[in-house]
């Protein structure tokens, strides 16, 4: 009788591939079922809208080219949507990553249909481009909005978010949790933390208590016990051997290992990943302030300003009359501000305060509610009745498009500071002056006066380092929504 073969072991167990933990397999099955149901609903919507458009355009009848067009559009769009959703899932689970796959897959579907229609010489592209794509995209977005609202009403609204264990020192974990909690593009259900040494059984971050489940050496065991899907190493690690063994030990117990870096406020477009002899390298492109980039931004500013000044000229007499009737004083308010490179200019706004507002400011200094060097009052007695309405909907900023046309401001940029505010700047805050100040910016679409001074500075510095024409256009579009539903405007 031959001797029994020895069982070889490695850092993650026996020679055979690690078996997935039953609870983890159950959760992964639930996620797969949800994705399958979503794909079925998406496909039904796309097919139904495409068929209805073909019938409507054909007057109640269809021919072979019309049928082929429906099949090509529906098949390509539905398949591309599955692929796009799978890729987007790795970037996050927020609203942006739900909507981006719809747009990307719709473009692919239209492109495939355009090729087929060009080969056949049919006019099938017109009804689908003008009817099917807008209606189906709107329906897909509506379905996701309804589903998100339904989940929000449930007690277990975050049960489908990946169960996450955070590893690292307490300071790194706290910074990571704050970042994840402040970004709705990423959904993580933080189950607990693994902290080196003898730590307290819990840690509190911004009023929320998180249990400390163990140490970094116990991560694999904790992942199996707590049904963890994602392990995040806060702040990275200087020990590549530990990370390699950690990834091996998590096989079958988790699905993702994420290494958080100390890179802060760096846009994804500036980050690339490379490999060299088995070493993972993170490539970060430095901010560019060259002439060609600034000329492109200036061109966008001029186009937007010219387009905006036409309707502004039409409503200015109405606003001017309301201001004049409400309180005595001029219609416009001029004030010295600091622009790019520290140059002063005179900003133009509709007057929203009394004519003696500047003289009355000293008496209100003790009641200042502004953050840092900013002076703000939620219930400022100097603000007129008409001025309150103008401020609420940001209408008082409209004359600044003239400053944009004159090259003193940009449509999008950091908030234009007062000279007294700049005199209190120190260190990195001066980087706000690297680009032209803007009528709108990240600060305007993120809470405006409700932001702390640190939050305002961080948003402005993030914009300065990561701005692009695409980002500017996104901010302009989001500003329109903020004007309809204002927040922090006073």
Q: Note whether residue 392 is domain-resident.
A: yes
Question: Given this model, what pLDDT does residue 436 score?
Answer: 93
Q: Count of domains in the chain?
A: 3
* pLDDT, position 154: 56
User: Residue 7's pLDDT is what?
Assistant: 33
Whether residue 463 lies inside any domain: the answer is yes
- Could you say which of 106, 127, 153 is where a domain stops? 153
Q: Residue 189's pLDDT is what?
A: 81
Q: How far apart are CA 476 and CA 490, in angstroms?
A: 20
Do both 102 and 196 map to the same domain?
Answer: no
Q: Is residue 114 domain-shared with residue 232, that is, in the same domain?
A: no
Give the residue from 96, 119, 153 where a domain finishes: 153
Q: State the pLDDT at residue 348.
A: 94
Q: Do 255 and 388 belong together in one domain?
A: no
- 489 in a structural domain: no
Does 328 share its domain with 467?
yes
39 and 66 fall within a common domain = yes
Q: Which of 88, 123, 153 is the last residue of a domain?
A: 153
Residues 187 and 238 reside in one and the same domain: yes
pLDDT the model gives residue 10: 40
Residue 186: its pLDDT value, please? 59
- For residues 191 and 140, state if they share a domain: no
Residues in the chain, pLDDT under 70: 1-21, 23-24, 58-62, 87-98, 151-160, 182-187, 235-238, 278, 366-376, 448-450, 484-490
In this structure, the answer to whether residues 318 and 413 fall within a common structural domain is: yes
Structural domain includes residue 5: no
Asked if residue 186 and residue 109 are part of one domain, the reply reads: no
3-state secondary structure string across the chain? CCCCCCCCEECCEECCCCCCCHHHHHHHHHHHHHHHHHHHHHHHHHHHHHHHHHHHHCCCCCCHHHHHHHHHHHHHHHHHHHHHHHHHHCCCCCHHHHHHHHHHHHHHHHHHHHHHHHHHCCCCHHHHHHHHHHHHHHHHHHHHHHHHHHHHHCCCCCCCCCEEEEECCHHHHHHHHHHHHCCCCCCCEEEEEECCCCCCCEEEECCEEEEEEECHHHHHHHHHHHCCCEEEECCCCCCHHHHHHHHHHCECCECEEEECCCCCCCCHHHEEEEEECCEEEEEECCCCCCHHHHHHHHHHHHHHHHHHHHHHHHHHHHHHHHHHHHCCCCCEEEEEEECHHHCEEEEEEECCECCCHHHHCHHHHHHCCCCCCCCCCCCCCCECHHHHHHHHCCHHHCCHHHHHHCCCCEEECCCCCCHHHHCCCCHHHHHHHHCCCEEECCCCCCCHHHCCHHHHHHHHHHHHHHCCHHHHHHHHHHHHHHHHCCCCCC
Question: Do 37 and 130 fall into the same domain?
Answer: yes
Q: Do 49 and 89 share a structural domain?
A: yes
329 in the same domain as 309: yes
Q: Report pLDDT for 1.
A: 40
Domain that holds residue 187: 163-262
pLDDT at 5: 38
* Residue 322 within a domain: yes
The reply to whether 56 falls in a domain is: yes
Domain at 235, CATH number? 3.40.50.20
Within a domain: 448: yes
pLDDT score for 157: 47
| Residue 323 pLDDT | 93
| Residue 271 belongs to a domain | no
């Amino acid at each position: 009788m031959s001797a029994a073969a020895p069982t070889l072991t490695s850092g993650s167990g026996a020679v055979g591939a690690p078996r997935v933990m039953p609870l983890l397999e159950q959760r992964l099955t639930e996620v797969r079922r949800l994705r399958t149901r979503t794909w079925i609903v998406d496909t039904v919507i796309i097919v139904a809208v495409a068929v209805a458009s073909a019938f409507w355009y054909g007057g109640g009848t269809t021919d072979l080219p019309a049928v082929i067009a429906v099949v090509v559009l529906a098949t390509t769009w539905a398949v591309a949507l599955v692929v796009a959703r799978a890729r987007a899932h790795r970037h996050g689970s927020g609203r942006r990553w739900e909507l981006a796959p719809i747009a990307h897959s719709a473009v692919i579907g239209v492109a495939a249909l355009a090729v087929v229609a060009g080969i056949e010489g049919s006019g099938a592209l017109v009804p689908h481009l003008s009817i099917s794509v807008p209606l189906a995209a709107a329906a897909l977005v509506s379905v996701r909005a309804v589903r998100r609202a339904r989940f929000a009403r449930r007690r277990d609204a975050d049960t489908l978010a990946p169960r996450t264990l955070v590893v690292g020192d307490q300071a790194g974990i706290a910074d990571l949790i704050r970042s994840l909690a402040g970004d709705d593009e990423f959904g993580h259900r933080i189950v607990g933390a693994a902290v080196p040494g003898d730590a307290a059984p819990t840690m509190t971050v911004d009023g929320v208590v998180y249990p400390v489940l163990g140490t970094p050496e116990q991560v694999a065991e904790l992942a199996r016990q707590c049904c963890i899907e994602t392990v995040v190493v806060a702040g990275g690690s200087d020990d590549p051997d530990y990370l390699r063994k950690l990834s091996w030990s998590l096989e079958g117990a988790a699905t993702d290992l994420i290494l958080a870096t100390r890179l802060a406020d760096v846009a994804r477009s500036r980050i690339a990943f490379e490999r060299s002899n088995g070493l993972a390298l993170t490539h970060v492109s430095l901010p560019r302030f060259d002439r060609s980039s600034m000329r492109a931004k200036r061109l966008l500013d001029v186009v937007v300003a010219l387009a905006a000044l036409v309707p502004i000229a039409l409503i200015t007499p109405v606003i001017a009359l309301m201001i004049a009737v409400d309180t005595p004083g001029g219609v416009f308010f001029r004030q010295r501000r600091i622009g790019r490179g520290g140059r002063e200019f005179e900003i133009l706004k509709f007057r929203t305060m009394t004519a003696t507002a500047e003289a009355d400011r000293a008496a209100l200094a003790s009641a200042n509610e502004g953050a840092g060097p900013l002076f703000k009052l939620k219930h400022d007695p100097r603000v007129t009745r008409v001025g309150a309405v103008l401020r609420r909907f940001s209408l008082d900023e409209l004359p600044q498009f003239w400053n944009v046309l004159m090259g003193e401001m940009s449509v999008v940029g950091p908030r234009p500071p007062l000279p007294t505010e700049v005199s209190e700047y120190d260190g990195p805050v001066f980087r706000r002056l690297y680009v032209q100040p803007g009528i709108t910016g990240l600060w305007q679409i993120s809470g405006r006066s409700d932001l702390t001074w640190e939050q305002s500075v961080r948003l402005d510095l993030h914009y300065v380092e990561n701005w692009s024409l695409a980002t500017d256009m996104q901010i302009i579009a989001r500003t329109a929504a903020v004007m309809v539903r204002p927040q922090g405007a006073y």
